[in-house]
Every structure is written in structure tokens, then in C-alpha cells.
Amino acid sequence: MTQTFTLNDGNKIPSFGFGVFQIPADGSTYKAVSYALKAGYRHIDTAVAYFNEAEVGKAIRDSGIPREEIWVTSKMWLQDYAYEDAKKAIDSSLEKLGLDYIDLYLIHQPYGKVDEAWKAMIEAQKAGKIRSIGVSNMTPKIWKKWEEKVIFKEKMPAVNQVEFNPYFQQKELRKIMAKNHVTLEAWAPLGEGNKELFAEPVLNEIAKKYGKDVGQVMLRFEHQEGVIVFPKSSHEARIKSNMNIFDFELTSDEMDAIRALDKNKGSHDPDQPGFGDMLLNAFDVHAND
């Protein structure tokens, strides 16, 4: 049974989920989500920019599982941050998903008219269209910028979804978030398959001790750190095995040994100049509308 964390708005979110980034919308997403739900997952993470919201929604509806038992996250793309566009984007996500509400909706990239998007999201939450609202990819520098612009004055984000794994443990950011009781969600919780990370002796020794694989040890470490994880896979065996992290617990010494692996560096830097413009020009989320 998947455990839950309580967000700063009081909602309980499954601490372990299934991510669908880069799974194509050619039936593959439907198949993967359907299998994940059968395997016991109750938290699905998608986004407008993943182009697979419709298949996620269909898999949820066809699963036979009561809607209230499944936590669904989606994210608004920065193309839609202007206030009126943001309102339309929320309704569009609901329509594509085929759901009456979204459990968590995030600002996917923290550039541009974030303040206008945030206003629209607060209103949608009050209207019952969204249960919890949050942000994604906010570094300490970006967080402080928006905090100073008081966009969080009316409503603090429930989560900040960022890159997180044993090589990038976001220690500075987590201190800022802890002050505001903001929960961290991890994308790339397995370091996107980094061979060096998977070869780390300390992780392999711990895995051997518990009869687990290295990926399961990483996910268990992150869970014990209070981080929400949703590893992505389209392989049934891997989807199932990723979940098997609740039958063992790392000792404090083992946790410290994994904490010592931190390199404080991720696969990309959201603070680099022009990064927001590059993302905005990367693709058009309305190309197929």
C-alpha cells in the first residue's frame, strides 16, 4: 500500500507515483498507466507539454478504480501563463484528461508571467477545479525572486517539483522549502539512468544487504527524506519492481552514506540566462489543438 505525505494545504498525496514524461501518446501511455494502476500505483504525473493527458485520463477512467482513490498531477506550459490563457489552459487540461478536477496542477517552468498563471490557478482551486497547486523547477534563486514579488503571499505552493537524486540533493532549496512546509517532488529520482550513479559502491552494498536493486535503494532513500517520487518506465517488470520499497528501511548510517554522494549539480541549470526563452521556443503545446 502506497504511503502518503500531508501537504501544507492539508491534502494527502501518495508519496510514490508513476511519471509519463516521454512516453508517446500512441497507445503507449494508456498501456503503461493501465498497468501501473493494476500494479497498485495511485498517483499519476503528466503535463500539457507531455502531450499525453488524454491517454492518462482514459486509462484512469477505464481502470474501474474510484476517481477519489487516484491522485492526478498535470502542469501548465509557459506558453499559457498570461491570465486569460492560463484559465483556458486549466479547462483544456480538464477536458483532455476527461476529469472533473485535477488533484495537483503545477507551473511547469518558472519564467514569464508566473504571477498571472498563479492567480488563475488560485481561482481554479477556489472553484474546485484543482485540489492543490504548486510549482516546478524553481531553484533557490528563482524561488526568492517570486517570493520577493509576493506571488506566494496569498497562497504558498504545496509542492516544488525539481530534479532530485543522490547526486543532486537540493540541500539549499530544501531549507527554503522547509520554512514554508513545501513538499519536494523529484523528477529524475533515478538520475535518468546515470551509469556512474548506479555503479556507486555504497548503493550496491546496501542493495546487496537488503536483496534489492540499486534503483529501489535510491527510491527508498528519497522516500525516507520526505521526497515524493514517480519513476518512469514503460516496462511492466520495472513498473512493478520500482514500487517494492516499502518492505525495508535504511538505517541512519546508510542514509548518511547516501547523503554523502551529493554533488550538488543537476543535468541542467534553470538559472542559466535565456533558458526560459529556449523552452518557450522549444515547441507549441497547441500545435495539435
Sequence-ordered list of residues with C-beta below 8 angstroms from that of 51, at least 6 positions apart, any chain? 25, 285, 288
Residues 131, 103 contacting (CB under 8 angstroms): yes
Residue 274 burial by Cβ neighbours in a 10 Å radius (0-12, 13-18, 19+): exposed
φ/ψ (deg, to 5) at 203: -70, -40
Active-site amino acid positions: 50
Give the integer Cα–Cα distance in Å for 173 and 140. Answer: 5
